[in-house]
């Protein structure tokens, strides 16, 4: 009789423990991806653009978690940050980044 890993209670305990340990990253990235995807769909975008915009915004939002921690801001602010990243989108964030980096290089 073959062993079925999906029936192993230890596997599910490990999965739930992993989800609990990474809840801030998952919720922040997930909300950013969802908002970005809905924004693109609302604007008439489809297919690959929807998926890529969501994935990139989700990754950018997750990268903000250490910044919030560095400035000793509350962890639940990450959901707001994720929403804002998704709402602004990749192009607007790139524009802000280019402007910020341009000032740093000039100064």
Q: Is 15 within a domain? A: no
Q: Is 66 part of a structural domain of the chain?
A: yes
In a domain, 11, yes or no: no
pLDDT in tens, 21-63: 999 999 999 999 999 999 999 999 999 999 999 999 999 999 9
User: For the chain, what's the residue count?
Assistant: 107
Q: Residue 6: what pLDDT?
A: 66
Q: Where are the alpha helices (DSSP H) in the chain?
A: 9-21, 23-42, 47-63, 65-70, 77-106
DSSP letter at 4 equals: -
pTM strictly above 0.95: no
Task: Copy the structure tokens of residue 62.
Answer: 């997750």
Residue range 58-86, pLDDT digits in tens: 999 999 999 999 999 998 899 999 999 99
Tell me if 89 is assigned to some domain: yes
22 vs 103, higher pLDDT: 22
Q: Which domain holds residue 84?
A: 24-106
In a domain, 18, yes or no: no
Q: What is the per-residue pLDDT for 2?
A: 55
Residue 75 resides in a domain? yes
How many domains does one find in the chain? 1
């Amino acid at each position: 009789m073959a062993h079925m890993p999906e029936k192993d209670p230890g596997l599910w305990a490990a999965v739930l423990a992993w989800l609990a340990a990474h809840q801030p990253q998952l919720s922040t990235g997930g909300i950013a991806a969802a908002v970005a995807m809905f924004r693109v769909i609302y604007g008439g975008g489809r297919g690959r653009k929807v998926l890529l915009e969501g994935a990139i915004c989700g990754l950018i939002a997750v990268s903000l978690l250490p910044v919030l921690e560095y400035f000793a801001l509350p962890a639940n602010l990450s959901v707001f940050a994720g929403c804002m990243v998704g709402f602004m989108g990749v192009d607007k964030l790139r524009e802000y980044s280019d402007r910020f980096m341009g000032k740093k290089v000039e100064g």
